[in-house]
Structure 1
Amino acid sequence: MLRKFFPLDKNYVLEEAQLSLQNSLLQYLVDYVKVEYLLRFNALGLMDETAEKIQQHSGSDYMQLQEFYMNLAGVYRFKHYSDNQLEFIFDGRDPMEKYMEEWPATFRQWVKEFCRHEQFIRAILELTVFYPEDYTPQMAGLRLSTFITKFFELKIDSQKGIVKVKVA
């Protein structure tokens, strides 16, 4: 990747922190979605085929969610650190420490808010628990991209980057 700014630019440090936390945060996302689905759609705890499959799922390869995670990481950098100036932290902490605390807290809060939407829960389960071998994840990926656009009122454009939009 071509680095256009200073090596200690806060966006590069933040991105590095986000990448280092990717696996644990995606695991949190999937676990939270599974619990939320079972609480909302199977409140009595009846064991049907769907509930059993969700409870027995123990995968840790979330390659299908990497693009979604990277988009959320970009949205976070855009919303919270859109200026790419060098930052001085006056409490003595290393910037990496600060970002390793802030990003997971925000990610977890977003996951809780996202889980209020049934289409989000279904898309995540479709890409993880119910992911068939011969499945092309484009539709679920598109639903997640559309979800990000509507939720944050931001469009992720391959040419322009992240752009604010007004969603009806």
Structure 2
Amino acid sequence: MLGRMYEGEVCSAARTLEIVGERWSLLIIRNAMFAGTTRFTEFQRGLGIAPNILTKRLAEFVEAGLFEQRTDTGHTEYLLTAKGLDLKPVIVALTAWGDRWAAPDGPPVTYRHTGCGGEVGVRLDCSNCTDTPDVTEVTAELAPWAYEKKYGAPASLQ
């Protein structure tokens, strides 16, 4: 966790970073998603994370609704919820960026569709046409309520 809320920010990205923006967060979630990690000792061993940090992160993820804590046969397991699984495209997108800009030996992992074996990636799609816009063609537009909250005036006055 980043340790502070971005109350002045009208931004879902900033709010998301409050939940998963800490250094270990997405690695814990990645291991749960793609390595099948569910137990504390597996996360600790697989990531080399300090127990106190892992304890805190898992508790925060349970509280945020990303993981469900379940005790079965004397072992506590941390299972991703639908909310946690919805972060899968984020992990895939971060991996793609890392493959391009931070993998000098080439991509270490390929994400595949279990149905056909094809490679899976994340792409930008326009909901209005059939284009897949280049990143330079994507802009951000504040919703009217967000504009008013951020600037204290209706968007119609801009």
Fold conserved between structures, TM > 0.5: no
Greater gyration radius: 2
User: Whose RCO is larger (CA < 8 A, sep 6+)?
Assistant: 1
TM range (shorter): under 0.3
TM-score, with structure 1 as normaliser? 0.23
TM-score, with structure 2 as normaliser? 0.24
